Amino acid sequence: MSSSSEASTKTSSSDNSQSSLQQDANIVLIGPPGSGKGTQSSKLSVHYKICQLSTSDLLRQATQDQSSSEGQQIRKAMEAGGLVDDHIVLSLVNKNLTKPECSNRFLFDGFPRTINQGEQLEQLLASKQKRLDAVLEYAISDDLLKRRIRDRLIHKPSGRTYHEEFHPPKESMKDDITGERLDRRSDDTTETLNARLNTYHKQTIPLIDFYRQRNIHRCVDATKKVNDAYQESLEIVDYLHKQPTYKPASIDQNPVDKNVLSKNFLSIYNSVTSVLRDHGLI
């Protein structure tokens, strides 16, 4: 997540030039750890005035309850660089989608991460008569990711992130908004990063094809500067929102009655036969 001051000040000019999305606009951001999707998530949610749901933040909040077995499972998976069980993630997602501020439009940062999660999200949204408008993939090489993550800083109370080289705070080791101390994330180690990248390539990359088939996936160059990647994201979302969106197949609520079909066919057949006979054609 980026500094909210940066998000608010640098999106104000673009707010005047970019059209706001309609009430049902829903977005998914996909990308490996360190790709900048958290920063873009904050900026896009401010620009479009939509609810921002970061599954990483939701999962970290769930680990705060030391007595919860669910929190312990989440903590163990995150520390190992793996994925949290789908049923836990989907439970958190569904719970947050029921909140008033997220009931109409939302932006997912870091979810879904697997095809199974993608399919279940699709079913969940269909049950709420909603759809996804855009899926943005932030593409970047593993080598550059490792440079980005090595010096990453976080303001734990707000989730705002900084980087000593690419996005430094105004004052060393202090949050731009509150002036409070910044920390390094406990899972920003080389071992954990390698595990997370392996997990991403193995389980999340196939999800891209899933959304490409639905014609709502687009790729953003995550090696660009923050504002350049942001402008590219705006253009893509605005374009995709205007396009017809894939709708999952649903069970026909009014299936054809085979008996009625047979009777109708027989009636038509007899009528045609009668006409042909009257004209001496049969």
Residues recognised as catalytic: 37, 113, 152, 185, 196
Tally of helices (H runs) and strands (E runs) in the chain: 11, 7
Q: Is the peptide bond before 244 cis (omega within 30 degrees of 0)?
A: no
DSSP secondary structure code for residue 114 in this structure: S
Task: Give the integer Cα–Cα distance in Å for 110 and 39.
Answer: 12
Q: In what order do the strands lie in the sheet with 106-109?
A: 51-54, 106-109, 26-30, 134-139, 217-221
How far are the Cα atoms of 38, 82, 96, 192 from residue 61, in angstroms, in the given order?
A: 16, 17, 13, 20
Tokens of 135: 């899926």
Measure the CA–CA gap between 225 and 233, rounded to whole angstroms.
Answer: 12
Neighbours of 186 (CB within 10 A): 10
